[in-house]
Structure 1
């Protein structure tokens, strides 16, 4: 990024055009935050750095599924995420999948109310 905080992925600078939204939370092992720059960092880390450490691919096949429930807009909503990792010779891969229930009618009610209060339809 062009800001003052450097974003790192596994200790390496994120590629140009990288967006945090490209990382599935199921792939993240931990996030390390350094508040101040050190002498060995680039000038992009003036305000510190964020290092996103991704989970390593297992030496054998792994699969996990997580289910969740939240209470939003007066009713429960569900979410599910799954992660499948495998190694085949020199090739290793991870396949993260996430899905969630979203109540768009609640957002529409808010949007209409806000638009109405501004005097527009």
Structure 2
């Protein structure tokens, strides 16, 4: 009985530590994306506050990203409409989810292009 209790306590302790660490040690930010380097895609880049503010402003005003955000909102409404039905069509829901994933991928690619361009301009000025 003592051995069982000891083994159980050790397993519970290890499980607790594993759950506390979670997600390979990555922190989770407010948007749900894990970032080890503070959200910077290229470590060591865009270090100054001015550069960070400039990058945020460029991402906020980029027409492709604005369009993507609108499409994601429309996608969310379509999903909510479908789920509100008495008998939702899961084929349509799957299509909506795939569309959302494609929109997110396009937006992420656009953000990567912007970061790359900023890195390139920073290297030429420094």
Q: Which has the higher helix share?
A: 2
Q: Which has the larger radius of gyration?
A: 2
Task: Pick the TM interval, shorter chain.
Answer: under 0.3
Specify which structure has the higher proportion of strand.
1
